[in-house]
Structure 1
Amino acid sequence: MKKFRRATLFCLALILALGLPLAASAVGKWTEGPVHWSQARRDSSGLAPKPEETPEAVVQVYAGRAWSWRGIFGVHTWFAVKPPNASEYTRLEVMGWQLRYGSTAVRVRNGTPDGYWFGSEPELLAEVRGAEAEILIPRILAAAESYPHADQYRIWPGPNSNTFTAHIARQVPELSLDLPPTAIGKDFIPEGAVFAKTPSGTGFQVSLLGLAGVVLALEEGIEVNVLGLTLGVDVTNPALKLPGVGRVGFSD
């Protein structure tokens, strides 16, 4: 009987730990009000340096809340790179809708590096400039080309846009990229692997198809993945990591 009660209390605690943050995220999303996707903002947020004023190489990684109800749960992430003296940025991301037309889900083309993601203001997750960025850009482009799930896309639990970003980050550990807990799909290890380095390259993770797993790393801290939702603690920059809400504590 005691074991049953303990198991019941544990399940209730887990449901509350997952459900309450998601409920708070849903309320925040609901208060934004309805906007048709075609009218949602996609213009620059002003976070990226202007090419005409910045001759040096630039690498940036962004996250923006997903469109519609998906934004309750997670974000869309992407890379933006600019070689030295380039007049435009190149965006690298996965767009699932492209598969409807027989194309690859991987999209690499010139575009607005820091645009609002269908109305959601983006967050800058990482940035490298100068000589180091110049060295990293060819490796980032090569990692995008080697992404093994270019012909697949699943919102949950992956592979999706965050699986793609995590794949590049693992190939370029110099970025030390700590993806937000709301980046659902980041824990889907490509090609069905169970064990891998974390996207930051500072630790290791075990994951069962992005549905359940554990992360231990200097950058990510301690994370537990339950059905694609992340609960965790960042020890280096003290913060809680909650599903739907994201980080609560010090800035990463």
Structure 2
Amino acid sequence: MLALRVFLWFFLLAYLLPLAISAALYLSSGSGAGWRIADRSSAGLLPPAATHRPALVRVFAAQTVRWRGIFATHCWIVFKPEGAAGYTRYDYTAWGEPIRMNGFEADGRWFGHAPETVFALDGAEAAAMIPALQQAIAGYAWRERGHYRAWPGPNSNTFVSAVMGAVPGLGVVLPPTAIGKDFPWDGRWLRRTGSGTGVSLTLGGYAGITLGWVEGIELNLLGAVAGLDLRRPAIKLPGLGRFGMPGQTLETPAAPHRTAAAG
């Protein structure tokens, strides 16, 4: 009985309370403009492509549309080869062909919600990474109409997790609000984490646990993630996201432009 009481208190404080606070914040902010007319303009997070010669890779995340924004964010990938005159953006959506290329501004607001930068890499390392990302996008298994499922996946966050996971040791950690990031996109329920510093167990995306030096400790219950980052101390809460030190990779001389700003 003691163990049950401890679990119930943990579930209340780590899951239900953060989601209730997120719902209250959503209701107090109002519903905003309808999704058809919501602002999708650039948030100014990227330099003009024509004047930024180095290769570039970004992962962005923004609060998703309508009531689902209480607990979920939408993630997408942007890259630009060296010298390219424009950015290429990839989203995975519920309408039309699931994998959507350049359907929106590269750093555009997601139906009124400004994105945050989850991962950023420029220069030679970004240039070397882009072919692997392109190959992962081309080979993504869940690419047909009807494959998209908002919960537990495969959804937009599953797609980004799979593509970024194609680069061994990269260690991009999506925000705890990226519902679907733990869906087993390749059928494996037990795997090494993307950083190679831990392991992740998922029960079809409905529940699971991740333990890793870069990823920290994450407990997934019905897609909602709570956890701790020990390397860069922070707590992760469903609906509310990350609180603590930024989840960025420390810069090194070999990778002076790499950051992972959220997760």
- Alignment match, 1:53: 51
- Alignment match, 1:44: 42
Match for 1:129 among 108, 118, 122?
122
CA contact (8 A) 1:89 1:111 kept: no
- The answer to whether residue 201 in structure 2 is matched with residue 203 in structure 1 is no
Deviation at 1:182, TM superposition (A): 0.5
The runs of at least 4 aligned residues of structure 1 exceeding 6 Å deviation read: none
SS in 2 for 1:240: strand
Counterpart AA for 1:193: R
Question: Aligned partners of 1:88, 1:110: CA distance in 2, in Å?
Answer: 14
SS in 1 for 2:85: coil
Percent identity of paired positions between Structure 1 and Structure 2: 43
Note the alpha carbon deviations across 1:23-56, whole angstroms, 9 max, x for none: 1111222222222012211111111121121011
Note the alpha carbon deviations across 1:223-248, whole angstroms, 9 max, x for none: 11111111100011100010000101
SS in 2 for 1:166: helix
Query: What's the C-alpha RMSD, in Å, of the aligned pairs?
Result: 1.5
TM-score w.r.t. structure 1 length?
A: 0.92
SS in 2 for 1:154: coil
SS in 2 for 1:96: coil
Note the alpha carbon deviations across 1:163-189, whole angstroms, 9 max, x for none: 001101210135321111000101111
CA contact (8 A) 2:182 2:205 kept: yes
Against the structure 1 CA distance between its residues 218 and 6, is the aligned structure 2 distance closer, same or farther, given a 3 Å change threshold? closer
Counterpart AA for 1:213: G
Note the alpha carbon deviations across 1:5-33, whole angstroms, 9 max, x for none: 54144224313321110111112222222
After TM superposition, the structure 1 = structure 2 runs for residues 129-208 of structure 1, keeping only pairs within 5 Å, are 129-151=122-144, 152-208=147-203
Q: Which of the pair is proportionally richer in helix?
A: 1
Against the structure 1 CA distance between its residues 119 and 199, is the aligned structure 2 distance closer, same or farther, given a 3 Å change threshold? farther
- Alignment match, 2:258: none
Worse-superposed segment, 34-43 or 206-215:
34-43
Question: Aligned partners of 1:222, 1:150: CA distance in 2, in Å?
Answer: 30
SS in 2 for 1:244: coil
- Alignment match, 1:20: 17
Against the structure 1 CA distance between its residues 189 and 64, is the aligned structure 2 distance closer, same or farther, given a 3 Å change threshold? same
SS in 2 for 1:175: coil
TM-score w.r.t. structure 2 length?
A: 0.88
Note the alpha carbon deviations across 1:184-238, whole angstroms, 9 max, x for none: 1011111432112223443220000111111011211011111111110001110
SS in 1 for 2:201: strand
- Alignment match, 1:31: 28
Match for 2:67 among 66, 69, 72?
69
Question: Aligned partners of 1:129, 1:212: CA distance in 2, in Å?
Answer: 35
Question: Aligned partners of 1:41, 1:201: CA distance in 2, in Å?
Answer: 38
SS in 2 for 1:173: coil
Deviation at 1:110, TM superposition (A): 6.9
Worse-superposed segment, 169-178 or 79-88:
169-178
CA contact (8 A) 1:170 1:197 kept: no
Segments of 5+ residues of structure 2 without an aligned counterpart are 248-263
Question: Aligned partners of 2:194, 2:25: CA distance in 1, in Å?
Answer: 28
Counterpart AA for 2:37: Q
Q: Count residues with an aligned counterpart.
A: 244
- The answer to whether residue 100 in structure 2 is matched with residue 107 in structure 1 is yes
